[in-house]
Amino acid sequence: MGEYFMVVLLDDHRMAKIRGTGLEEHIKYMFGGELRLLEVKVTEELKDRILQEFETARVDSRGAITDVPVAFMRELFNQVVEKKSLGPEVVEAVLEKIDEIKKAAEKESEYLPPPEIEEE
């Protein structure tokens, strides 16, 4: 049985939300500390369910589950904050909202709100 995980990226907005939850000590850094992230554990069974529910989902060479809808990733972060945990119960809670996520994912294929950044 392999070990799987999902990456939750942390920008400044998300950092503010996890402050004081005790999760800060689990933050991992990549690319010289320029990228902050949390890794949520995923069991074999949950991995299979995610791959079954979302045809775009895949497992990369590191065991990370990627290419799920953005709505899934947003809910994943919400559940991390709510449960103050990085255990498999987080993904379980996300999957309880699967219908809602799939509905949002359908709209996502037509439109995704762009970030408000300054253009040239």
Partner 1 sequence: MSRFLIQRPLPHGGRLVERVVTDKEAAKKMIKGCPSYDIKPTLHYETGVPVRNVYREIMSICYGFFSPVEGSMKQAEVERILKERRLLNEWIFPYPLVFDISEEDYKQLGVGPGDRLVLNLKGKPFAILDIEEVWRIDNPEELAHLTFGTPERNPEVVREPFNKKHPGWVIYRSLQPVVLAGKYTIINEPKFRPPFDRFWYPPRKSREEFERRGWRTVINHQTRNVPHVGHEFLMKCAAFTGDVEPCHGILVNAVIGVKRRGDYPDEAIVEGHEAVNKGGYIKPERHLPTIVLWDMRYGNPLESLLHGIIRQNMGCTHHMFGRDHAAVGEYYDKWATQILWTKGIPSYGFPAPPTDVPYGLDIRPQNMREFSYCPTCKEMAYSETCGHKREKLSGSFLRGMVAEGVQPPTIIMRPEVYKVIVKWWKHFGYPFCNEKYVINKEKELEVDLEDL
For binding to partner 1 (CB under 8 A), which residues are involved? 7, 9, 11, 30-32, 34-35, 56, 58, 60-62, 64, 66-67, 70, 73-74, 109-115, 117-120
E strand segments, the chain = 4-10, 28-30, 35-42, 58-59, 65-66
CB of residue 120 vs partner 1: minimum separation in angstroms?
Answer: 6
Instruction: Compute the least distance from the CB of residue 12 to partner 1, in Å.
Output: 10
Closer CB to partner 1, 16 or 66, in the complex = 66
Residues in the chain: 120
Q: Six-digit token pair at 1?
A: 């049985």
**Complex with partner 1: residue 62 or 84, whichever CB lies closer:** 62
Report the DSSP beta bridge partners of residue 4: 42
* Type of residue at 63: G
